[in-house]
Amino acid sequence: MPEQVSRVPYPLRIAMHKVLMRGFDVGVKVLPAKQPRLFIGPGSIDRLAGYIGSYEFDRVLLVTDTGITGLGLHTRFAEVIESSGTKVTVYDSVEPNPTEQQIEQGIATAKREGCEAIIGFGGGSPIDAAKVIAAGMTNDKPVAKMEGPFRVRKWPLPLFAVPTTAGTGAEVTIAAVVTNPAERRKYAIADYKLVPLAAGLDPQITVGLPPHITAATGMDALTHGIESYISKRATPESERASIATVRGVFAHLHTAYSNGSDLVAREGMAMAAFEGGMSFTSVGLGYVHGIAHKLGGLYGIPHGLANAVVLPHVLDYSKDACTARLANLAGAVGLGANGSSEAALADAFIDAVRGLGAEVGIPETFEEIQPADVPLIAKSAIDEGFELYAVPKYMRQADGERVVGKLLS
Ligand SMILES: [Fe+2]
C-alpha cells in the first residue's frame, strides 16, 4: 500500500515549517547555551574522575554497555572516582539504540542504589541513555512522556560523559535518542538541561575501537559538521564549529582508521566529534539524519554507518541550493584553487566526501533496505525535516524516494 503523504498542501507545510524554525531561532537566543567543562588529552579521564570526586557524591551510576565492561575500559576511571570516597554502581545493560525499557531499568537501578549523579561512559548509546536516566531521576514520568523539545521540566541529576567513540557528540548536545522497538521508531528528547556538566576526551580510551566503528562514527561527526553548515539556521558560532568538524575529520579519520593507536589522530577525531556536537546542537541537522534515523528504526543499521552511506546522495540532491556553502567547505579542506567556480568546488567537495568514505571502507548501498519500504523511509525523513531541520532544499515525496532508492543494492 502506498505511504500516506501529508494532506497539508506542500507550500503550506513549508510556510508552517518556516514559522517553526523562526521559533527555534528565538528559543536559541533566549535559552542559556550550556557547554560541558572539557577535559582533554591522554590521561584526561583521570582528571575528570577527580573532578567528579570533588562533588563528594555518596554514590554515582556509571551507564555503559557490556562491550566496555567486557574489556574493562571503565575500570581505572571508576577506581579513581572511588578513591575519592564516592561509590560507583555500574549499569551495563545499554544496547545500541537504547530502548525505553533499558532506560527505565537504569532509572530503577539508580533509585534503588541511591545514586546522586549519572555518568555516561561509551558511544552515543550509553551517553544518551545516561542523559535520559538523569532526567528520569528527577522528573516523575515515563521516558516516553519526555519525547520532543523542552519536556524535561526539572533539572536532571548531575551528568557527566566519557565518549569512547568519536562521532555522536552526545557529550555536548542537548538531545538523546530513544528507541521504541514495538513501534519500530526512534525519537529524540531534546532539552538544554541534558547537556553534561563535564566531559572527558581521552584518546587512550579510543585506541581499541575497531576500524569499522572508527569509520562509521567518524562519518557521523562529518555529517553533523556538513548538515549544520548547510542548514538555513546556521549562525557564525555554529559555522565555526562546523568548519572545525569537517577539517578535523578530513585531517584525522583516515589515520585513526588505519592506525588506531595514533593518539594524535584519535584526539583529533575526539575533538572533531565534540565540535560536531557543538555545531548542530542549536541549529539542527538535515535529511541525512532523517533517513538514517528511519534506517536505524526499521533495520537496526548503526547510526554512523547509515549517515555515511546516505550523506553523498543527499548532498547531490541539495547541492544546487547550497553551492556556495559546499564550495566554502571545499576550501576548508584544501580543495580550493584560484579560478575554480563555486559549482566545481561544490562537486569537488562531494567527491571528496565520497572518496573519504571509500577510503575507510564505507559501502555504497544497504542490502537490508526492502524496496517496498522506500516510500515509508522517504516520508519519515521528510516529516522529520519539516519538524526539525531548516534544510537548504526541501524534498517532496518523489524526491525523497529517488534519493532513498539510490541506497538499494
Ligand atoms: Fe548523528
How far does residue 79's CA lie from ligand 1's centre (Å)? Answer: 31
How far does residue 285's CA lie from ligand 1's centre (Å)? Answer: 8
How far does residue 72's CA lie from ligand 1's centre (Å)? Answer: 26
How far does residue 224's CA lie from ligand 1's centre (Å)? Answer: 6
Q: What is the Cα–Cα distance from 34 to 114, expressed in whole angstroms?
A: 27
Q: What is the Cα–Cα distance from 409 to 179, expressed in whole angstroms?
A: 26
Task: Compute the CA torsion angle 124, 127, 133, 138 (nearest 10 deg).
Answer: -120
What is the pLDDT, as a whole number, of residue 252? 98
What is the pLDDT, as a whole number, of residue 401? 98
Beta strands, E only, 50-116: 59-63, 87-91
What parts of the chain have a pLDDT lower than 70?
Answer: 1-5, 32
Q: What is the Cα–Cα distance from 148 to 150, expressed in whole angstroms?
A: 7
How far does residue 154's CA lie from ligand 1's centre (Å)? Answer: 26
How far does residue 276's CA lie from ligand 1's centre (Å)? Answer: 9
Residue 358, C-beta contacts closer than 8 angstroms, at least 6 positions apart: none
The grid coordinates listed for 26 are: 528565538
3-class SS of residue 86? coil
Q: What is the 3-state secondary structure (H, E, C) of 191-228?
A: CHHHCCCEEEECHHHHCCCCHHHHHHHHHHHHHHHHHH
The grid coordinates listed for 175 are: 538531545
Strands 148-149 and 185-190 come out as: parallel
What is the pLDDT, as a whole number, of residue 1? 42
What is the pLDDT, as a whole number, of residue 15? 83
Output phi, psi for 90, to 5 deg. -95, 130
pLDDT of 123-167, one tens digit each?
Answer: 999 999 999 999 999 999 999 999 988 899 999 999 999 999 989
How far does residue 114's CA lie from ligand 1's centre (Å)? Answer: 33
Core vs surface per residue 323-346: b (16+ CB within 10 A) or e: bebbbbbbbbbebeeeebeeeebb
How far does residue 289's CA lie from ligand 1's centre (Å)? Answer: 6
How far does residue 296's CA lie from ligand 1's centre (Å)? Answer: 11
49 neighbors 85 (Cβ within 8 angstroms): no
How far does residue 345's CA lie from ligand 1's centre (Å)? Answer: 25
Task: Compute the CA torsion angle 382, 185, 283, 302 (nearest 10 deg).
Answer: -100
How far does residue 347's CA lie from ligand 1's centre (Å)? Answer: 23
For residue 303, give the nearest of 215, 391, 367, 204 by alpha carbon.
215
What is the pLDDT, as a whole number, of residue 32? 66
